[in-house]
Structure 1
Amino acid sequence: MDLITTHINADFDALASMVAAKKLYPEAILAFAGAQEKNLRDFFSQSVEYLYDFQRLKNIPFKEVKRLIVVDTRQASRLGTIAECLANPGLEIHIYDHHPANPGDLRGNVEHIRPVGSTVTIFVDLFRSREVTLSPQEATLLAMGIYEDTGSFHFDTTTPEDLQAAAWLLERGANLHAITQFIAQELTSTEVTLLGELIRSATTYTIQGLDITVAKLTIDSYFDGFAMVVRRFMVMENLNTLFALARMGERTYLIARSRIPEVNAGEIVREFGGGGHASAASATIKDLTMIEAEEKLIQVLHKQIRPQRLAGDLMSAPVISGRPNITIHQAEELLNRYNITVLPVVDENHRVIGLISRRVAGKAAQLGLQEQPVSDYMSTEFATLTPMATMGDIQELIIEHRQRIIPVVDGRNGELQGVITRTDLLNLLVNDPSRLPRNLYSEQLPSSERQRNLQNLMVERLGRRIVVLLRTIGEVAEARKYHAFAVGGFVRDLLLHEKNLDIDVVIEGDGIRFAKDLAARLGGEVRVHSKFKTAMVRLPDGLKVDVATARLEYYDYPAAMPTVELSSLKLDLYRRDFTINAMAVHLNPENFGLLVDFFNSQNDLKDKKIRVLHNLSFVEDPTRIFRAIRFEQRMGFAIGRHTERLIKNAVRMNLFDRFFGYRFFGELQLMLNEDNPLPAIRRLAELGLLPFLHPKLRMDARLENILSEAQAGLAWYHLLYLDKPCRPWLVYLLALTATLKGEEVKTFCARFEVPVRIRQALLREKWAAQQAATSLRRHAPTSNSGIYHLLADLGPEGLLYLMAIIRKKAAKKSISLYVTELIDVRPEISGHDLKNMGYQPGPRFREIFDQLLDARLDGKLRNRKQELAYVRRHFPLTAGSPPDSAESGPAPPPGNCRPGSPEPGTKP
Structure 2
Amino acid sequence: MTQEFHKKAIQHPIFELIGEASSEIGVNSYVIGGFVRDYLLNRGTPKDIDVVAIGSGIKLAEKVASKLKGNPQVTVFKNFGTAMIKTDDLELEFVGARKESYNRGSRKPVVEDGTLEDDQNRRDFTINAMALSLNKANYGQLVDPFDGITDLSKKTIRTPLEPGITYSDDPLRMMRAIRFATQLEFEIELKSLQAILENKDRIKIVSKERIVDELHKILASPKPSIGFALLHQTGLLPLILPELTALQGIEEVEGQRHKDNFWHTLEVVDNIAQTTNNLWLRWAALLHDIGKAPTKRFHKKIGWTFHGHEFVGSKMVYKLFKRLRMPLNDKMKFVQKMVLMSSRPIILSENHVTDSAVRRLVFDAGEYVEDLMTLCEADITTKNPRKQKKYKNNFKIVRQKIVEVEERDHIRNFQPPVSGEEIMKTFNLSPSKEIGIIKDAIKEAILEGEIPNEYSAAYQFMLKKGKELDLIPIDDEKE
State the Cα distance separating 1:688 from its structure 2 match.
2.9
Task: Give the CA deviation at 1:789.
Answer: 2.9
For residues 412-432 of structure 1, the C-alpha deviation after alignment (integer angstroms, 9 at most, x for no partner) is xxxxxxxxxxxxxxxxxxxxx
**Aligned position for 1:572:** 119
Indicate the SS of the match to 1:706: helix
1:514 matched to which residue of 2? 60
Q: Distance in 2 between matches of 1:480 and 1:819?
A: 67
Q: Contact 1:484–1:508 (CA<8 Å) still a contact in 2?
A: yes
Contact 1:765 1:794 in 2 (8 A): no
How much has 1:818 moved relative to structure 2?
Answer: 8.7
Q: Percent identity?
A: 24
Instruction: Note the C-alpha offset of 1:849.
Output: 11
> Relative to structure 1, is the Cα distance of residues 686 and 733 closer, same or farther in structure 2, using a 3 angstrom cutoff?
same
* 1:830-841 to 2 correspondences below 5 Å: none
**How far apart are 1:641 and its partner, in Å?**
2.7
- For 2:51, what is the secondary structure of its paired residue? strand
Distance 1:706 1:587, change over 3 A: same
Contact 2:269 2:282 in 1 (8 A): no
Verify: 1:606 aligned to 2:153, yes or no.
yes
Does residue 640 (structure 1) correspond to residue 189 (structure 2)? The answer is yes
1:765 paired to 2:335: yes
1:537 correspondence with 2:85: yes
Counterpart of 2:78 in structure 1: which amino acid? S
Deviations 1:162-211 (A, max 9, x none): xxxxxxxxxxxxxxxxxxxxxxxxxxxxxxxxxxxxxxxxxxxxxxxxxx
> Retained in 2: the 8 A contact 1:710–1:735?
no
1:712 to 256, 268, 271: 271
RMSD: 4.5
Q: 1:706 to 1:733 in 2, by over 3 A?
A: closer
Q: CA deviation at 1:599?
A: 2.0
| Residue among 667, 675, 680 paired with 2:227 | 680
Decide whether aligned partners of structure 1 residues 547 and 820 sit closer, same or farther in structure 2, where only a CA change above 3 A counts. Answer: farther
Given that 2:85 and 2:93 are in contact with CA atoms closer than 8 Å, whether structure 1 keeps it comes out as: yes
Query: Are 1:726 and 1:797, in contact at CA under 8 Å, matched by a contact in 2?
Result: no
Residue identity opposite 1:557 in structure 2: R
- Cα distance, 1:744 vs structure 2: 5.9
Distance 1:617 1:497, change over 3 A: same
Gaps of 5+ in 2: 250-259, 294-311, 382-389, 464-472
Q: Is the 8 A contact 2:81 2:95 kept in 1?
A: yes
Summarize the Cα distance change of 1:851–1:814 in structure 2 as closer, same or farther, 3 Å threshold.
farther
CA contact 1:730–1:762 (8 Å) conserved in 2: no
Equivalent-residue separation in structure 2 for 1:853 and 1:457 (angstroms) = 68
Change in CA separation of 1:871 and 1:694 when aligned onto 2, cut-off 3 Å: closer
**Do structure 1's residue 621 and structure 2's residue 167 form an aligned pair?**
no
- Partners of 1:492 and 1:638 in 2: how far apart? 16
1:512 and 1:547 in contact (8 A); partners too: yes
Question: 2-side partners of 1:644 and 1:487: how far apart?
Answer: 25
For residues 452-494 of structure 1, what are the alpha-carbon distances to aligned partners after superposition, in whole Å with 9 as ceiling and x for unaligned?
76444443x67x6xx1122122222222222221100111122
TM-score by length of 1: 0.39
The amino acid across from 1:535 in the alignment is: A
CA deviation map 1:91-141 (0-9, x unaligned): xxxxxxxxxxxxxxxxxxxxxxxxxxxxxxxxxxxxxxxxxxxxxxxxxxx
State whether residues 769 and 801 of structure 1, in contact with CA within 8 Å, keep that contact through their aligned partners in structure 2.
no
The correspondence for 1:504, drawn from 50, 62, 86, is 50
CA distance in 2, matches of 1:545, 1:831: 57
Q: Is the 8 A contact 2:54 2:97 kept in 1?
A: yes
Taking the TM superposition and a 5 Å limit, the aligned residue runs for 1:182-581 are 454-459=3-8, 467-499=12-44, 500-520=46-66, 521-523=68-70, 524-539=72-87, 541-557=88-104, 560-581=107-128
SS of the aligned residue for 2:84 comes to strand
Would you say 1:788 and 2:359 are equivalent positions? no
Q: CA deviation at 1:746?
A: 5.7
Map of 2:296 onto structure 1? none
- Contact 2:344/2:361 (8 A) holds in 1: no
- Pairwise CA distance, 1:584: 0.7
Contact 2:58 2:81 in 1 (8 A): yes
The answer for the alignment partner of 1:754 in structure 2 is 325
1:579-590 map, 5 Å = 579-590=126-137
- 1:418 is aligned to none
SS of residue matched to 1:642: helix
Conserved? CA contact 1:765–1:797, under 8 Å: no
C-alpha distance after superposition, 1:573-599 (max 9, x if no partner): 111111111111112344321211222
Which residue type is aligned with residue 502 of structure 1?
A: D
Tell me which amino acid in the other structure corresponds to 2:261: R
Whichever residue aligns with residue 671 of structure 1, its letter is I
Q: 1:545 and 1:846 mapped to 2: Cα distance? A: 62
RCO comparison, higher one (Cα < 8 Å, 6+) = 2
Q: Is the 8 A contact 2:442 2:458 kept in 1?
A: no
Distance across 1 between alignment mates of 2:367 and 2:31: 47
Q: Describe the SS at the equivalent of 1:670.
A: helix
Q: Distance in 1 between matches of 2:414 and 2:113?
A: 64
Instruction: State the partner residue of 1:702.
Output: 261
Figure out how many residues of one structure are paired with residues of the other and give that number.
407
Q: Amino acid of the residue matched to residue 531 of structure 1? A: N
Distance 1:606 1:766, change over 3 A: same
Counterpart Cα distance in 1 of 2:401 and 2:54: 57
Q: How many angstroms apart in 2 are the aligned matches of 1:857 and 1:572?
A: 68
Cα 1:628–1:870 change in 2 (3 A) is: same
Higher helix share: 2
